[in-house]
């Protein structure tokens, strides 16, 4: 089995990220090849990077870093669910990435993004540059949701859409292939 971690990048009160992430999570758990965990950066609640040493040494001084390290070390593949803030990704996901190094190395990652006309694609393009610096493998398949509020009902719950469900499945299939290959490589 592949350990898949779905990370919710946005943390602001009233955010829509969890609605999108819960939709993707439900599809991922139906995929028989993955153990799935939903990670909410609002719960992880990391302060701005406060470790004195480069993370490649893994000489972490703070318990929050040790906990974050253990969570990410156990992942084989990741899906980052991200909004777009001012044409970029939320600072919270950059901070969470910067905390660690080896824990991310040689692991596959895809994205679920949402926004206005861009569907969060600008945020994802920027994020790809960052994640390659920690030697992650960004796969080309991703789900981008433009005008995403159309996909939320009056309670803020995601309204299923067969097209988007199919895109999510394609991402999971592709992510699985890369995750298996990279797991072998890490071993
Ligand atoms: C600070 C800020 C900047 C934003 N910038 C963009 C943007 O550049 N592109 C976009 O499509 N939407 C932008 N939006 C609108 C977001 O797509 C929308 O608020 C979305 O709900 C944000 O995700 P969240 O609810 O998970 O925080 C912005 C929202 C905020 C709060």
Q: Residue 77 maps to which CATH number?
A: 3.40.50.360
Task: Give the pLDDT band of residue 108 (cuts 50, 70, 90).
Answer: very high
Ligand 1 atom showing the smallest separation from residue 120 Cα: 11
**Ligand 1 atom 2: residue of nearest CA:** 85
Mean pLDDT of 90-105: 98
**Ligand 1 atom 15: residue of nearest CA:** 115
State in Å: Cα 182 to ligand 1 middle.
Answer: 33
Given phi > 0 = left and psi -120 to 50 = alpha, else beta, which region is 30?
Answer: alpha
Answer whether 145's CB lies under 8 Å from 19's CB.
no
Domain residues for 141?
2-186
**Ligand 1 atom 6: residue of nearest CA:** 85
Rounded to two decimals, the pTM is 0.98
Express each pLDDT in 134-170 by its tens digit. Answer: 999 999 999 999 999 999 999 999 998 999 999 999 9
Looking at residue 160, its pLDDT comes to 86
How many domains does the chain contain in total?
Answer: 1
Helices (DSSP H) in the chain: which residue ranges?
17-30, 41-44, 63-73, 91-98, 121-133, 162-186
Residue 76 token pair? 């084989």
Mean pLDDT of 52-62: 98
Closest CA to 28 of 170, 138, 145, 179: 170
């Amino acid at each position: 089995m592949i350990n898949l971690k779905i990370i919710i990048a946005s943390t602001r009160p009233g955010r829509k990220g969890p609605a999108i992430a819960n939709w993707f999570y439900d599809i991922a758990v139906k995929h028989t090849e993955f153990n799935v965990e939903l990670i909410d950066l609002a719960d992880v609640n990391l302060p701005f990077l406060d470790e004195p040493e480069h993370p490649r040494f893994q000489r972490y001084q703070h318990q929050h870093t040790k906990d974050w390290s253990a969570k990410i070390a156990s992942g084989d593949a990741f899906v980052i669910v991200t909004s777009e803030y001012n044409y970029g990704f939320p600072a919270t996901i950059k901070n969470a990435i910067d905390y660690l190094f080896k824990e991310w190395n040689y692991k596959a990652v895809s994205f679920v993004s949402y926004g206005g006309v861009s569907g969060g694609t600008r945020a994802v393009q920027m994020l790809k540059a960052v994640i390659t610096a920690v030697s992650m493998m960004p796969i080309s398949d991703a789900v981008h949701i433009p005008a995403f509020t159309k996909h939320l009902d009056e309670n803020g719950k995601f309204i299923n859409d067969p097209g988007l469900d199919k895109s999510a499945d394609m991402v999971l299939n592709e992510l699985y292939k890369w995750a298996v290959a990279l797991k072998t490589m890490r071993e």
